[in-house]
């Protein structure tokens, strides 16, 4: 089976998953990206994406290992779930980005 439908969930300030969605599609592939303001919204959105036929799901680094595990649990491990991670070389620049 070929990968035809991919999902990505990103966290960001004031993102509303009912409004902050985008689809990028060709005749052979579709990507659905959904924005959430909190990782706690991830499990419900992941269930929606799986119900919509997503075959592979990626989460932004803001989910971390705890919320990534909760997303996997919420979908019963029905599809592969990956999470963006950053190496040690990114710690200082990331801290600068999120240091309010």
- The token pair that represents 12 in the structure block: 């960001």
The pLDDT tens digits for 51-63 are 999 999 999 999 9
Using CA atoms, how far residue 18 sits from 41, 71, 88, in Å, is 11, 18, 34
The pLDDT tens digits for 24-33 are 999 999 999 9
**The pLDDT of residue 100 is above 70:** no
pTM: 0.92
């Amino acid at each position: 089976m070929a990968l035809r439908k991919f999902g990505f969930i990103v966290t960001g300030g004031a993102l509303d998953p009912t409004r902050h969605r985008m689809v990028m599609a060709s005749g052979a592939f579709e990507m659905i990206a959904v924005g959430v303001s909190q990782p706690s919204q991830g499990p419900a959105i992941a269930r929606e994406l799986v119900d919509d036929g997503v075959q592979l799901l990626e989460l932004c680094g803001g989910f971390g290992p705890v919320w990534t595990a909760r997303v996997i649990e919420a979908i019963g491990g029905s599809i592969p779930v990956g999470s963006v991670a950053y190496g040690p070389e990114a710690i200082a620049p990331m801290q600068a980005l999120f240091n309010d």
